[in-house]
A and B are shown apart, each in its own frame.
Chain A
Amino acid sequence: MLRDITIGQYYQADSVIHELDPRVKLLGTFAYVISVFIFRNIPGFVLMTLFIGLCIKLSKVPFKYMVKGLKAIVFILLLTGVVNLFLTPGAPVFEWKFIAISKQGIYNTIYMMTRLTYLVIGTSLMTLTTTPTRLTDGMETGLGFLNKFKVPVHEIAMMMSIALRFIPILIEETDKIMKAQMARGADFESGNIIKKAKSMVPLLVPLFVSAWRRAGDLAMAMEARCYNGGEGRTRMKPLRYCRTDYIAYLIMLIYMALMIVLRVIF
């Protein structure tokens, strides 16, 4: 069911990773994503695995829980695999009728699927260990310099945190409207693509109307509580670096340096 989607949802635990300043985690994730794109050999792979493995271990998020989140991207993963496997040109090692698989193709498939999996695991580790508010706080402070270029950083951050808060509510609502229309004989499953798309109207219109109404209500509630944009706001939980954050930065730096060295040397 829809309510089983776990990707991107905060997982409450008491760990070093949870405690880290969100700016550290944002930058760390950024660095990790770069490393996922630059590794190209076994030593790099081993180092990357060690790094992310250690982070997961420290975060106390059960590995099983993370794998469950991967289910959502299985389709994309398989598609990338298939595309790479069959469409990479090169000397074929296997041939059958019009299908040809090259050595390069096998190599690419493994490489791309590993990359994608590691990418999702790494980024979801960040959302699993950081509450939406902390995350947006981190973005707001960390990217504050963009204000100079007239980027409305506070507004974007606020929008993101509200969106994240309302995702579970809207998922539940979708479930409810779907059931209500099914009780009126609606059929969301059978038929061809056009029929299926048409059958979504009774679901999407009420969902849109409801989201619109909620947005109006929320805007009114925020105004009633004196919300007036980012100016003059104070913070209940201001971001302050502590020792672990500096250590984390240091570890990140070493990790990135090693990854680059491994890529250049081998």
Chain B
Amino acid sequence: MSIIKALKLTHEYIHRDDEGNVDSIETALDGVDLDIAEGDFIAILGHNGSGKSTLAKHMNVILSPSDGTMWVDGKDTKDEDKLWEIRQTAGMVFQNPDNQIIAGIVEEDVGFGPENIGVPTSEIWTRVDNALAAVHMEKYRNHSPNKLSGGQKQRVAIAGVIAMRPKCIILDEPTAMLDPVGRQEVIETITELNKKEGVTVILITHYMEEVVNADKVFVMDHGKIVMQGTPREIFSDIKTLKEHHLDVPQVTLLAHELKEAGLNIPDGVLTEEELLHILCQLS
């Protein structure tokens, strides 16, 4: 079953001058075809300006297609009657942790979404309790978000989305503003949600280490999907990745360079353990 599907999806940002005449047209998405299966952990990679954030915004109907179609859980995003249903199905977490927390207390912020969709009071509490437990933030439920670390704030934002019981969570560069500890917290949290609760995760990032455990990786450039496959397949082709201004984790690069130097090492080594194992067998 596909949860998110796009067919020839195109998005154009139209810039106008002071008189309202069209000044220039920037094609952010250029005929994207996409099919994401329910329950998968998907990573979308690309440098800044490659169109990956624009794609994410279509999944939550913050943007509407200039051309082509996008379906979320079978619903066409151009269908205005389905707007709130789609937003409930596909929740979104943004980059800046400060700019997406609305309430002054953690638990009230998590309850914000359910309040908006008219969930009865007693059920809001159950949902908030469960959502906070899912991101391991129960201890901080009465805290002010201003006193939390970046990673903790992002976990609160994730809980806020979980409380709306979505089938799918889209995270638009959720770790870009975090330190390594916070980054790890967020990645662990979403991995657990995907494995335990079966929520489809769509992670948009440019940190390669974060995608090694994904089921499938898409690479975007110039508004198009230019590579897709398992992380191993993607990381096997370092040359093409570099052409799209991306790099690979240190061990993948090391394995690649050792192979170039004549050692018998396969393409697309993903983890340190893997390379260790291969080298031990070689000697």
Binding site for B on A (CB under 8 A): 10, 12, 131-133, 161-162, 164-165, 168-169, 213-214, 217-218, 220-228, 232-238
A227 touches B108 (CB 8 A): no
Assembly CA distance A91 to B260 (angstroms): 102
Minimum distance in angstroms from A22 CB to a CB of chain B: 13
CB distance from A174 to the nearest CB of B (A): 14
Which of B87, B88, B91, B103 is close to A133, meaning CB atoms less than 8 Å apart? B103
B160 within 8 A of A: yes
Q: In angstroms, how far is the closest chain B Cβ from the Cβ of A2? A: 14
Q: A226-B84, A226-B113 are in contact. Are A169 and B146 (CB under 8 A)?
A: yes
Residue from the list A131, A161, A226, A238 in contact with B116, Cβ < 8 A: A226
Instruction: Count B-side interface residues using an 8 Å CB cutoff.
Output: 40
Residues of A within 8 A of B121 (CB): 234-236, 238
Residue in B91, B96, B104 whose CB lies within 8 Å of A132: B104
CA distance A221 to B95 in the complex (A): 10
A131 lies within 8 A of B119 (CB): no
Q: Which 9 A-B pairs have the closest CB atoms?
A: A236-B111, A221-B100, A217-B99, A225-B113, A224-B92, A226-B116, A236-B124, A132-B104, A165-B104
Can you list 8 A-B pairs, Cβ within 8 angstroms, ordered by A? Answer: A131-B105, A161-B104, A165-B101, A225-B87, A226-B88, A234-B114, A234-B121, A236-B111
- Judge whether A218 and B62 touch: CB under 8 Å: no
Interface string of B89-126 (1 = CB under 8 A from A): 00110101011111111011001111111111100110
A169 to B144: give the CA distance in the assembly, Å.
Answer: 12
Contact B164 A225 (CB under 8 A): yes
Cβ of B60 under 8 Å from chain A: yes
Please measure, in the bound complex, the distance between the C-alpha atom of A232 and the C-alpha atom of B128, giving whole angstroms.
19
B117-152 contacts to A, CB under 8 A, are 117-121, 124-125, 128, 142, 144-146
Asked if B103 and A165 sit within 8 Å, CB to CB, the answer is yes
Please tell me if the beta carbons of A226 and B164 are within 8 angstroms of each other in the complex.
yes
Dominant secondary structure of chain B at its interface with chain A: helix
Is there contact, CB below 8 Å, between B118 and A227? no
Task: Out of B88, B99, B107, B108, name the residue touching A214 (CB < 8 Å).
Answer: B99
Residue pair A162, B102 in contact (C-beta under 8 Å):
yes
Report the separation of the CA atoms of residues A169 and B114 in the bound assembly, to the nearest whole angstrom.
26
- Report the bound CA distance from A220 to B96 in whole Å: 12
Q: Which residues of A are found within 8 Å of B32, using beta-carbon distances?
A: none
Q: In the complex where A132-B104, A165-B104, A218-B102 touch, is A234 in contact with B119 (Cβ < 8 A)?
A: yes
Q: Which of B145-168 contact A (CB under 8 A)?
A: 145-146, 160-161, 164
Given A165-B104, A224-B91, 10 more A-B residue pairs with CB atoms under 8 Å apart are: A133-B108, A162-B102, A169-B146, A217-B94, A218-B102, A220-B62, A224-B92, A226-B117, A234-B115, A234-B124
Q: CB distance A236 to B125 under 8 Å?
A: yes
Q: What's the nearest-Cβ distance from chain A to residue B229, in Å?
A: 29
- Shortest Cβ distance from residue A252 to the other chain B in the assembled complex, whole angstroms: 27
Asked whether B105 lies within 8 Å of A233 as measured between CB atoms, the reply is: no
Contact present for B84 and A228 (CB under 8 Å): yes
Minimum C-beta distance from B120 to chain A (A): 6
Contact of A225 among B105, B112, B118 (CB under 8 A): B112
B100 touches A217 (CB 8 A): yes
Residues on the A chain within 8 Å of B100, using CB:
217-218, 221
Q: How far is the CA of A164 from the CA of B117 in the complex (A)?
A: 24
Residues of A close to B144: CB separation below 8 A = 10
A10, A214, A218, A238 pick with most chain B CB within 10 angstroms: A218
